[in-house]
């Protein structure tokens, strides 16, 4: 699809985000098991819960537009997840692995924040305050998660 309007951009963005949420939902448990710091394990567990909530918000918006819950693959996210697998499978000391996992998680969070911010803005421009509010909630939660990961990274013992 060639986007020709804010509505088209909104739909494309929602599809990318939905795929992202589905993909990272599969990754958080593996990252949680690979982490050695309890705080990091807890952060990944919390993200698993938040990912479900974000997917549900996106599904509400898809429902509103009468669209199926279908994502669209993003190559950038795939590379982040590949990097995460490399960190998890690498022969690293635990604190180095944790730092690498945090880096991967923050790349994912920043990708998601950019996506949620864009589609929130498109929703606002289209006058869809309900969708904009749901998307803002997800954006805010992604920002909180990013800050939490930064705090955990600062507490790692090198």
pTM value?
0.92
Q: What is the 3-class SS of 41-91, one letter each residue?
A: HHHHHHHHHHHHHHHHHHHHHHHHHCCCCCCCCCHHHHHHHHHHHHHHHCC
Check which CATH number belongs to the domain holding 100 and give it: 1.20.1260.10
Whether 1 is covered by a domain: the verdict is: no
Q: Read off the pLDDT of residues 37-67 as tens digits, 9 standing for 90 and up.
A: 999 999 999 999 999 999 999 999 999 989 8
Where residue 24 falls among pLDDT bands split at 50, 70, 90?
A: very high
Per the structure, the complete domain to which residue 95 belongs is given by: 6-154
The tally of domains found in the chain comes to 1
- Please check the confidence at residue 3 and state whether its pLDDT lies above 70: no
Whether 23 is covered by a domain: the verdict is: yes
């Amino acid at each position: 699809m060639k986007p020709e309007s804010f509505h088209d951009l909104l739909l494309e963005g929602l599809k990318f985000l939905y795929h992202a949420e589905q993909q990272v939902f599969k990754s958080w448990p593996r990252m949680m098991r690979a982490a050695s710091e309890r705080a990091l394990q807890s952060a990944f567990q919390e993200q698993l819960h938040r990912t479900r909530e974000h997917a549900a918000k996106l599904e509400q918006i898809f429902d509103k537009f009468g669209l199926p819950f279908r994502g669209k693959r993003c190559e950038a996210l795939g590379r982040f997840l590949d990097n995460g697998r490399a960190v998890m499978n690498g022969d690293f000391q635990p604190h180095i692995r944790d730092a690498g996992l945090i880096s991967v998680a923050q790349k994912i969070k920043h990708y998601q924040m950019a996506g949620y911010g864009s589609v929130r803005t498109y929703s606002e421009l289209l006058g869809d305050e309900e969708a904009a509010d749901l998307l803002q909630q997800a954006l805010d939660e992604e920002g909180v998660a990013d800050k939490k990961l930064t705090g955990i990274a600062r507490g790692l013992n090198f």
